[in-house]
Amino acid sequence: MSAFNTAALRRLRSRKAAVTGVAVAASAAVALTLAPGDAEAETTTEVAAAAPVAWKVNPEQAAQVRESISTQQTAFEAQFKAAQAKKKAEAAAAKKAEAAKKAAAAKKAAEKRAAEKAAADRSARAAKPAKVTYPNNLDGWIREAMSIMKKHDIPGSYEGIHRNIMRESSGDPRAINNWDINAINGVPSKGLLQVIKPTFDFYHVPGTKKDQYDPVANIVAACNYAADKYGSMDNVNSAY
């Protein structure tokens, strides 16, 4: 190889090392043509080596190289954006799954609390005795009065109470005696067991109505009085 060609190759390599990836790719496809400046270049090797060299690039090939690089860059950018979008979608899906997991846990905890509360309510209802209701008649009045008497340790049987009621009022809670000595003194006997107002007030049991005509209050007060005076309403067999 001549000294002329050697020097030209050195300059070409130097230029290739200085340019970017685009120039490197372009150099593989571009046809370079050496064009000596004039006829004097052929006289001696030293003169030719010192003379400037002009390089000609094929415009069509250069355009093709630029288009190829641009296409590759566009494809890379598209892949990069797709990867970023996929990563973002995966992060959103993971966040949504975590939120759903927390919501499910919260729902399960709420259901557990509700079940526990329902069980506690059932236990409380089972432990608490059901409220007893009594019919609004003589049988119901006596039974309700006896339940109150039991709480206050007042003695008296159903038979003893019923027997004295039938003698005193025939079972009429509105019965009143307007002819005996009590009536003459202005304190007539009233109610099922015909008690006067001072006796009713003194032996009245808290929790019952303060009304002589109230059947339950009348029975309880009268039985309380009989327990104090006779030991029990069962021991009363006549006017008391």
Report helix, strand or coil for 221.
Answer: helix
Spans of all domains in the chain: 3-57, 138-235
Instruction: Name the nearest CA neighbour of 167 among 240, 87, 76, 99.
Output: 240
CA atoms within 13 A on the CB side of 38: 2
Burial of 126 (0-12, 13-18, 19+ CB in 10 A): exposed
pTM of the model as a whole = 0.50
pLDDT for 94-120, tens place per residue? 999 999 999 999 999 999 999 999 988
**209 neighbors 223 (Cβ within 8 angstroms):** no
Q: What percent of the chain is modeled with pLDDT above 90?
A: 60
Q: Report the pLDDT averaged over residues 23-42.
A: 41
Determine the pLDDT at residue 34.
39
Q: Is the pLDDT of residue 51 over 80?
A: no
Q: Is the pLDDT of residue 10 over 70?
A: no
Determine the pLDDT at residue 240.
84
CATH 3.10.20.30 fits 138-235, yes or no: no
pLDDT for 133-164, tens place per residue? 999 999 999 999 999 999 999 999 999 999 99
Determine the pLDDT at residue 28.
44
Q: Is the pLDDT of residue 41 over 70?
A: no
pLDDT for 79-94, tens place per residue? 999 999 999 999 999 9
Which range has the worst mean pLDDT, 128-142, 165-179, 220-234?
128-142
Question: In degrees, to the nearest 5, what angle opens at C-alpha 112 toward C-alphas 107 and 114?
Answer: 95
Which of the 8 DSSP states describes residue 190? B
**H-state helical runs in the chain:** 3-18, 21-29, 45-50, 59-127, 138-151, 158-168, 181-184, 197-203, 215-230
Q: Is the pLDDT of residue 30 over 60?
A: no
Q: How far apart are CA 187 and CA 201, in angstroms?
A: 12
**194 has which bridge partners?**
none
Per-residue pLDDT band for 38 (boundaries 50, 70, 90) equals: very low
pLDDT for 57-81, tens place per residue? 688 887 888 888 888 988 889 899 9
Determine the pLDDT at residue 75.
87
What are residue 94's phi and psi, to 5 degrees?
-65, -40
